[in-house]
């Protein structure tokens, strides 16, 4: 019997129970039957949760790209692997076959090798959503270099921090990128980022916008020039199961971004398995995930999960509202998309437009629709389900994180009955638990608590790049021996999970994880700012928006407040990126603090949310008088 595909609910429970009772047999069998290995593993899993030490398929040897591409060539060589839909609908879509992808990835792998990139070296990839991005990423994995893809919406300062943290040797970028009717000068941003760097030896530049850029002699090279002479003959490097595959940065509630490290074999097995089941993937499907490759959703469900299954995966360069808000629906119709996976923020922004935009299109090719990135509210769920899914496509609300590598709690299409706003049941191998404030596991149903996972799964991140202590402290110390997600959840009467949101100082804005601390650090760099505190508040489209409470230095007090607000947002945009701009900035004379000097964010959160009915116990505040002042000045 095979465990790779779950056919119905009864089988889900069977497989689930097997995966909990005998995880080694369960994952071992899947790994053996559905992937190619240079050498089998000695042990399926080895772990010590207290030390945050997890290994899967110990001592196995493989190459993930060989599994994504080479092994499909005999059967699927001419099948489209990547379907590229450009930003401009008048530009022709590109169908890149498995044969062609193989040839391009091999060429890029040889280019890297010729530039001296070796197994274990870090390569930063900062590119728009064009096929070269996928090729550059896969070519790293093919030679065993560790890719660090940075979302091309990040500022030069944020990019610099990521390149420096990982000690990248090479950067791959493009002259620019198209987004809607804008052109973004990516190469300029890279140049700026590299001013404070001494590890990068070379910068490869792909052409996309054909804008003129500065090329630094001896450092920058056009991809086109390298391409002409590159051989497409390349044997995939032999990698150990636990060799790092990539680093992907995610915001923390404190300090600098965390470079989550994912390794090879476990990530491969888990992303392939979850893709196949959750989206009910079948051979001739055309799968479209609208994320950017710069996020984990893009890594796992644009690139690796689909290619590991020999699927056709869509790469979309544009945005949902260009040239008009029917773009998504047009693309679904044009390419006869079967699975459509997007984010609540996109759904909400399209739901506010006229229904005509979506109703013009039958969308009858769709069979599964999915949501990811933040809790999906009831209204958005129904709009998506009714108008896009036509009430006939299962809507899979998939809960997971950069750290988890793959989807953890989600309906399985055509298997799990859905329930609006519920991520429903854990995937096989996933053991969620809810914890109370006293750090005890909460038994039974109809309960609420902090969401932890009590057994390792194959795709869990193994560490934070260069800082294992931080990894241990962030994820394994709050509830010793368990992985703490940072999310709160409830479990309903039948055991379905609903994720209620972050319980730490991370705010999810338009599906992007933003730690409040790095934004506060950025704001505090403005010369007129003395101190600041950021909280999230509900926003119709973005899910949450940011509200900043800012104390000015004396020289700031006499300045025009609107100008100051703009300047502060400029600093935030340049330090982090435009996605982190604040919707509201209120100038205050003080921030509510405990006697130990900690800002009481729960009070600020309530004020920002317009919920001042109950501040709870504020007797421990050093300066309770400031609360009334802040309330009065609320924006
Ligand atoms: O709070 C949860 C929310 O997004 C966080 C993870 O963000 P990130 O690492 O950027 O990864 C996003 C894409 C996987 C989680 O801790 N989140 C993600 N998906 C959902 C969600 N919250 C509720 N429902 C979801 N389906």
* 361 domain-assigned: no
Q: Which residue has its alpha carbon closest to ligand 1 atom 15?
A: 401
Number of domains observed in the structure of the chain: 2
Atom index in ligand 1 nearest the CA of residue 501 equals: 1
Same domain assignment for residues 311 and 183: yes
Same domain assignment for residues 168 and 264: yes
| Residue among 401, 544, 579 to mutate when testing ligand 1 (max atoms within 8 A of CB) | 401
Its pTM stands at 0.93
ipTM higher than threshold 0.95: yes
User: Could you tell me the distance, in angstroms and rounded to a whole number, from the CA of residue 223 to the centre of ligand 1?
Assistant: 35
User: Could you tell me the distance, in angstroms and rounded to a whole number, from the CA of residue 217 to the centre of ligand 1?
Assistant: 42
Task: Please tell me the distance from the alpha carbon of residue 309 to that of residue 67, in angstroms, as a whole number.
Answer: 9
**501, containing H or E segment:** strand 497-502
User: Could you tell me the distance, in angstroms and rounded to a whole number, from the CA of residue 461 to the centre of ligand 1?
Assistant: 15
| Residue among 406, 451, 508 to mutate when testing ligand 1 (max atoms within 8 A of CB) | 508
Same domain assignment for residues 515 and 455: no
Q: Which residue has its alpha carbon closest to ligand 1 atom 2?
A: 374
Q: Half-sphere exposure of residue 504, counting CA atoms within 13 Å on the CB side?
A: 19
Q: Closest Cα to residue 445, out of 385, 396, 491?
A: 491
Task: Please tell me the distance from the alpha carbon of residue 248 to that of residue 145, in angstroms, as a whole number.
Answer: 14
* 85 domain-assigned: yes
CB contact set of 555 (below 8 Å; sequence gap of 6+): 527, 528
Long-range contact pairs involving 602-610 (C-beta distance under 8 Å, separation at least 24): 603/627, 604/533, 604/535, 604/547, 604/549, 604/630, 605/535, 605/536, 605/537, 607/631, 607/634, 608/535, 608/536, 608/537, 608/547, 608/584, 608/634, 609/537, 609/538, 610/537, 610/634
CB contact set of 522 (below 8 Å; sequence gap of 6+): 571, 572, 575, 576, 580
Same domain assignment for residues 153 and 28: yes
* 77 domain-assigned: yes
Angle at 159 between CA 102 and CA 121, to 5 degrees: 50
* 192 domain-assigned: yes
Atom index in ligand 1 nearest the CA of residue 402 equals: 9
Q: What is the CATH number of the domain that holds 554?
A: 3.30.300.30
Q: Which residue has its alpha carbon closest to ligand 1 atom 10?
A: 513
* 258 domain-assigned: yes
CB contact set of 27 (below 8 Å; sequence gap of 6+): 19, 44, 45, 56, 269, 429, 458
* 174 domain-assigned: yes
DSSP, collapsed to helix, strand or coil, labels residue 537 as strand
Same domain assignment for residues 29 and 149: yes
Pocket around ligand 1 at a 6 A CB cut-off? 250, 296-297, 371-375, 397-402, 423, 485-487, 499, 502, 508, 513
Same domain assignment for residues 464 and 538: no
Same domain assignment for residues 469 and 522: no
Same domain assignment for residues 120 and 208: yes
Query: pLDDT averaged over consecutive 10-residue blocks of the chain (635 residues)?
Result: 95 98 98 98 97 98 98 98 98 98 98 98 98 98 98 94 97 98 97 96 98 97 97 98 97 81 98 98 98 97 98 98 97 98 94 96 98 93 98 98 98 98 98 95 96 98 98 96 96 96 89 88 91 93 95 87 95 93 95 80 89 71 86 89
* 594 domain-assigned: yes
DSSP, collapsed to helix, strand or coil, labels residue 178 as strand
Alpha helices in 336-458 (DSSP H): 344-351, 356-359, 378-383
| Residue among 399, 426, 501 to mutate when testing ligand 1 (max atoms within 8 A of CB) | 399
* 112 domain-assigned: yes
DSSP for 561-629?
Answer: HHHHHHHHHHHHHHHT-GGG--SEEEEES---BBTTS-B-HHHHHHHHTT--S-----TTBS-THHHHH
How much is the pLDDT for 613?
A: 65
Same domain assignment for residues 20 and 131: yes
Q: Which residue has its alpha carbon closest to ligand 1 atom 14?
A: 401
Same domain assignment for residues 113 and 247: yes
Q: What is the CATH number of the domain that holds 209?
A: 3.40.50.12780
The strand pair at 202-206 and 170-174 is best described as parallel
DSSP, collapsed to helix, strand or coil, labels residue 317 as coil
State phi, psi for 548 to the nearest 5 degrees.
-110, 135
* Whether 588 contacts 628, CB under 8 Å: no
Same domain assignment for residues 117 and 159: yes
How much is the pLDDT for 624?
A: 83
Q: Which two tokens stand for residue 348?
A: 């909400």
How much is the pLDDT for 254?
A: 66
User: Could you tell me the distance, in angstroms and rounded to a whole number, from the CA of residue 262 to the centre of ligand 1?
Assistant: 17
Helices and strands: H and E segment counts in the chain: 22, 30
User: Could you tell me the distance, in angstroms and rounded to a whole number, from the CA of residue 206 to the centre of ligand 1?
Assistant: 32
Question: Which range marks the domain in which residue 38 is found?
Answer: 9-319+399-429+440-490
Q: Which residue has its alpha carbon closest to ligand 1 atom 21?
A: 374
Same domain assignment for residues 81 and 228: yes
Alpha helices in 399-515 (DSSP H): 468-476
User: Could you tell me the distance, in angstroms and rounded to a whole number, from the CA of residue 543 to the centre of ligand 1?
Assistant: 12
User: Could you tell me the distance, in angstroms and rounded to a whole number, from the CA of residue 605 to the centre of ligand 1?
Assistant: 20
Task: Please tell me the distance from the alpha carbon of residue 176 to that of residue 173, in angstroms, as a whole number.
Answer: 8
> Three-state secondary structure along 124-137?
EEECCCCHHHHHHH
| Residue among 153, 380, 400, 502 to mutate when testing ligand 1 (max atoms within 8 A of CB) | 400
Q: Closest Cα to residue 211, out of 235, 186, 190, 192?
A: 186
Q: Which residue has its alpha carbon closest to ligand 1 atom 22?
A: 374
Alpha helices in 284-427 (DSSP H): 296-298, 305-308, 327-335, 344-351, 356-359, 378-383
User: Could you tell me the distance, in angstroms and rounded to a whole number, from the CA of residue 189 to the centre of ligand 1?
Assistant: 28
- Tokens 């996972």 — which residue? 453
């Amino acid at each position: 019997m095979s465990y790779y595909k779950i056919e119905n609910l009864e089988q889900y429970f069977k497989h689930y129970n097997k995966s909990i009772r005998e995880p080694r047999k369960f994952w071992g069998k899947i790994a053996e039957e559905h992937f190619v290995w240079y050498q089998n593993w000695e042990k399926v899993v080895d772990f010590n949760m207290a030390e945050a030490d997890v290994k899967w398929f110990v001592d196995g040897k493989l190459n993930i790209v060989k599994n994504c591409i080479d092994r499909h060539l005999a059967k699927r060589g001419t099948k489209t692997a990547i379907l590229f839909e450009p930003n401009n609908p008048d530009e022709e879509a590109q169908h890149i076959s498995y044969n062609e992808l193989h040839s391009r990835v091999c060429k890029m792998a040889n280019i890297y090798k010729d530039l001296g990139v070796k197994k274990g070296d870090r390569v930063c990839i900062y590119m728009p959503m064009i096929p070269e991005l996928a090729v550059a990423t896969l070519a790293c994995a093919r030679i065993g270099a560790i890719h660090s893809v940075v979302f091309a919406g990040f500022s030069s300062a944020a990019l610099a921090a990521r390149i420096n943290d990982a000690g990248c040797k090479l950067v791959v970028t493009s002259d620019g990128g198209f987004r809607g009717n804008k052109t973004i000068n990516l190469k300029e941003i890279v140049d700026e980022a590299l001013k404070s760097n001494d590890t990068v030896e070379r910068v490869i530049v792909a052409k996309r916008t054909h804008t003129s850029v500065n090329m630094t002699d001896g450092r920058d090279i056009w991809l086109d020039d390298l391409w002409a002479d590159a051989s497409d003959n390349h044997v995939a490097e032999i990698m150990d199961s636990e060799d790092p595959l990539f680093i992907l940065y995610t915001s923390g509630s404190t300090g600098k971004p965390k470079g989550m490290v994912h390794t090879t074999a476990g990530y491969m097995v888990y992303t392939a398995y979850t893709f196949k089941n959750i989206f009910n993937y079948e051979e001739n499907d055309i799968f479209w995930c609208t994320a950017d490759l710069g996020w984990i959703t893009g890594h796992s469900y644009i690139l690796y999960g689909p290619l590991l299954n020999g699927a056709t995966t869509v790469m979309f360069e544009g945005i949902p509202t260009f040239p008009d808000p029917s773009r998504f629906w047009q693309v679904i119709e044009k390419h006869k998309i079967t699975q459509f996976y997007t984010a609540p923020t996109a759904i909400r922004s399209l739901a506010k437009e006229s229904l005509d935009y979506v109703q013009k299109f039958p969308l009858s090719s769709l069979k599964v629709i999915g949501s990811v990135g933040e809790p999906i509210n009831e209204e958005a769920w129904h709009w998506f389900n009714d108008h896009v899914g036509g009430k006939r496509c299962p809507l899979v609300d998939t809960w997971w994180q950069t750290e988890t590598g793959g989807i953890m709690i989600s309906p399985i299409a055509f298997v799990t009955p859905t329930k609006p706003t519920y991520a429903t049941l854990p995937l096989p191998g996933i053991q969620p638990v809810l914890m109370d404030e006293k750090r005890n596991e909460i038994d039974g149903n109809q309960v609420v608590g902090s969401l932890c996972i009590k057994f390792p799964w194959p795709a869990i991140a193994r560490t934070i790049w260069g800082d294992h202590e931080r990894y241990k402290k962030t994820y394994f110390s709050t509830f010793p021996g368990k992985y703490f997600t940072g999310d709160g959840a409830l479990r309903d009467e039948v055991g379905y999970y609903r994720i209620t949101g972050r319980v730490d100082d991370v705010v999810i804005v338009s599906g992007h994880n933003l730690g409040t601390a790095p934004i506060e650090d950025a704001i505090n760099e403005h010369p007129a700012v003395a101190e600041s505190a950021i909280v999230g508040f509900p926003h119709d489209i973005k899910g949450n928006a940011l509200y900043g409470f800012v104390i000015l230095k004396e020289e700031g007090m006499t300045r025009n407040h609107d100008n100051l607000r703009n300047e502060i947002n400029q600093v935030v945009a340049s330090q982090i990126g435009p996605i982190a701009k604040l919707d509201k900035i209120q100038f205050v004379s003080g921030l509510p603090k405990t006697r130990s000097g900690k800002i009481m964010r729960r009070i600020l959160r309530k004020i920002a949310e317009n919920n001042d009915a109950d501040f709870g116990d504020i007797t421990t505040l050093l300066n309770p008088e400031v609360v009334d002042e802040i309330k009065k000045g609320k924006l």
